Amino acid sequence: MEALLCKRLGDPTSSFESPIELSRNHPIPKLDSPTAVRVKVKATSLNYGTYLQIQGKYQEKHPLPFIPGSDYAGIVDAVGPSVSKFKVGDYVCAFVPVGSYATFIVQDQSQLFEVPKGCDLVAAAGLPIAFVTSHLTLVHRANLTSSQVLLVLGAAGGVGLAAVQIGKICGAVVIAVARGAEKVQFLKSLGVDHVVDLMNQNVTASVKEFLKSRNLKGVDVLYDPVGGNLAKETMKLLNWGAQILVIGFASGEIPIIPTNIILVKNWTVHGFYWGSYIIHQPAVLEDSVRKLFSWMEKGLITVHVSHTYSLSEANLAFAAIKDRKAMGKVMIVFDDKGNASSKI
């Protein structure tokens, strides 16, 4: 089978001594337990965390060499003798710490989620991390309501687009921050209430002007996958009793939130790490995935696939992430290539 191997740490977009290498004759993984399931991968997602992981900058380290890749979707190829939840031919999606950038992958049945038969598997592969992250933080952790104002940083990225869609489902006033006219127009097409273009607007002034026009006091929930100076700046816009959702640090800088300000403002800071839910609250994850697929079937959310690549083009796929070219998800697709449908 084909598999992408990370043999050393480094920038996967580099054309000189790249840390990633395509193996075309990698061994097909065998079922390793009675409840194991082997999946033929149809598509797998690129996430900023994977980009950091290959550079050795992620919070979890893996011994070299390893196969990168996290969320994916595909078709059940083989099942162990004690598997009761799935059969050969079923559509499934899942998340792994590493391993999805390969033609086949093996996981225990307890870690797989059923994908509705009518669902495009490329879209399903882009759902677990981006949409579950946004759903659990906004709905499960922050209890976002229609009376609140949600501010989404990095709103044109995978988790950002998921957050603005879920924010609108919750009925909140949604403010999005992005960079560039194309991304701004796309976010407006999704019904976002106000979009700030960092290319030519000051985020604080723009948001304050919008809030004043709506007779709103400030921001109730800050969704932050960016960190850095942008996070520090937008904290000035938060109401008393606001909630901060720490999703990641795409800027490369981890902001420091002064605890005295948290105390005086009665803020709540939620850290969110998707992978730990598998260990601590797997049932919550399963409920979230089920809810999200039901929303997809109703047309309430869409996994927007910005770019698709083959496994041999992984360096180009990572460059799309690194250079902030994507609006939505960047995907690696097996067997075929082209514009991917993102709706059920």
Determine the Cα–Cα distance for residues 263 and 94; give it in Å rounded to an integer. Answer: 39
Residue 16: what pLDDT? 80
Query: Looking at per-residue confidence, does 253 or 236 come out higher?
Result: 236
β-partners of residue 105 are 39
Residue 340: what pLDDT? 37
Contact 223, 151 (CB under 8 A): yes
Tokens of 159: 């988790």
Residues 3-126+304-333, CATH architecture = Alpha-Beta Complex (3.90)
Residue 324: what pLDDT? 81
Tokens of 64: 């070299």
**Per-residue buried b or exposed e for 140-154, using 16+ beta carbons within 10 Å of the residue's own CB:** bbbebeeebbbbbbb
Residue 287: exposure state from Cβ atoms within 10 A (0-12, 13-18, ≥19): middle
Residue 98: what pLDDT? 93
Backbone torsions φ then ψ of 39, nearest 5 degrees: -115, 135
Structural domain boundaries in the chain: 3-126+304-333, 142-271
Q: What is the mean pLDDT of the chain?
A: 92
Q: Are strands 268-271 and 173-178 parallel, antiparallel or unpaired?
A: unpaired
Domain 142-271 has CATH 3.40.718.10: no
Tokens of 333: 């697709």
pLDDT tens digits along 269-325: 999 987 788 889 888 989 999 999 999 999 999 999 989 999 999 999 999 988 888
Reported as a pLDDT band with limits 50, 70 and 90, residue 36 is very high
* Strands lying side by side in the sheet with 219-224: 194-197, 173-178, 149-152, 219-224, 238-246, 268-271
pLDDT tens digits along 103-122: 999 999 999 999 998 889 99
Contact 168, 135 (CB under 8 A): no
pLDDT tens digits along 263-273: 999 999 999 98
End-to-end CA distance of the chain: 29
Q: Which amino acid, residue 334?
A: F
Contact 278, 289 (CB under 8 A): no
pLDDT tens digits along 6-21: 999 999 998 788 999 9
Tokens of 58: 């992620």
User: Is the predicted pLDDT of residue 343 greater than 50, yes or no?
Assistant: no
Reported as a pLDDT band with limits 50, 70 and 90, residue 61 is confident
Q: What is the pTM of this model?
A: 0.91
